[in-house]
Amino acid sequence: MGSLRAFIYLGVCVCAGILTAADENTKAGNVHWTSLDFKTMLIWTTKSPQQTYSVKFRQGENGNSEPHNECFKVPGTECDMTHELAASDRSYIADVETDHDEEGDYDYSHEEFEHTESKPFNPYKESNISAVEFTVEALNASTIIVNVTDTLTSVHRGTKQLNIRDVFRKDLQYKISYHKSGNSRKRDHISDGSVALVPQLDAGQSYCFMVAAFIPSRPQSSQLGAWSQQLCEQTHPEGTNEMSVGHLVGIIFIVLLAIIIIITVTCVCCKKNQQRNKPLQTAQSSALV
């Protein structure tokens, strides 16, 4: 009887040992977030490739935990959280649970080994912003216009795909870094809007520009988006500042008017001269006869 008890006891110990070992192999490891332009993925690692996982998430430390409908008993080690998280200033915590086939045999006392929680993640504060597209155009001898296209995000409102201006509104600025061609000294210009006038440039000089989204309300480490490619543009030469299209049209008009007047006056004079010469010619020819 005693030996049977010892045998059962040993068996339980071995089983528990196997379960614990299994936990360590099937438990999701290194659960972390990656996010670019509000496309947000939850990523983890596993030592058992066959294992499936289910993801739950909640808003803040004490929010109600909700299951992720698509990431339910999925193989693989990632879950797209883009549509689960609001692009407003809130933190989320996700929990990756290891699935078990034999529900009946499952020892619930080991439950704490069977899931791994993420760190809190706030997409509004932490989602990376990719490099923006922009154009440059000289306005006059001292000003160049930088026109930035607000990058599209993965956030939708109804059928509309929101861009970073729709999401961040007044919180979004652009940092424009520029330098004169052949001069490495860089200057910064911060713009509230997506169209920026960069002033106080030298006339007839080439300048090169790079732009990045800039969100000063964020923590320092995530304030700046990726830098764009570089574009260069030349300011207008000195003295052409007042040469607007209106002025140009005016000058052409005056020149044309002058030409017309000269032609008209010349013609009128010619005709008068001819008429004055005619009777004279007649008189001369009759005298000859």
Which residues bind to ligand NAG, rule: CB under 6 A?
Answer: 33-35, 126, 128, 139-143, 145, 147, 149, 195, 197, 241
Tell the smallest beta-carbon distance from residue 247 to ligand NAG (Å): 13
Tell the smallest beta-carbon distance from residue 206 to ligand NAG (Å): 17
Query: With respect to ligand NAG, which residue has the nearer C-beta, 52 or 196?
Result: 196
- Compute the distance between CA of residue 268 and CA of residue 146 in angstroms, rounded to an integer: 56
Query: With respect to ligand NAG, which residue has the nearer C-beta, 98 or 168?
Result: 168
- Compute the distance between CA of residue 87 and CA of residue 202 in angstroms, rounded to an integer: 42
Query: With respect to ligand NAG, which residue has the nearer C-beta, 74 or 203?
Result: 203
The DSSP secondary structure of 61-78, one letter per residue, reads TTSPPEE-SSSSSB-SSE
DSSP SS3 for 276? helix
Tell the smallest beta-carbon distance from residue 189 to ligand NAG (Å): 14
Tell the smallest beta-carbon distance from residue 265 to ligand NAG (Å): 39
Q: How many helices (H) and strands (E) does the chain have?
A: 4, 16
For the beta sheet containing 195-198, the strands, ordered from the edge strand earlier in sequence to the opposite edge, are 133-138, 144-149, 195-198
Query: Which residues have CB under 8 Å from 67's CB, separation 6+?
Result: 54, 55, 56
Helices marked H in the chain — which ranges? Answer: 2-26, 123-126, 164-168, 245-288
Query: With respect to ligand NAG, which residue has the nearer C-beta, 25 or 34?
Result: 34
- Compute the distance between CA of residue 72 and CA of residue 124 in angstroms, rounded to an integer: 26
For residue 272, give both structure tokens: 């008068």
Query: Which residues have CB under 8 Å from 128's CB, separation 6+?
Result: 35, 36, 37, 222, 225, 226
Tell the smallest beta-carbon distance from residue 36 to ligand NAG (Å): 6
Tell the smallest beta-carbon distance from residue 182 to ligand NAG (Å): 22
Query: With respect to ligand NAG, which residue has the nearer C-beta, 147 or 277?
Result: 147
Query: With respect to ligand NAG, which residue has the nearer C-beta, 33 or 53?
Result: 33
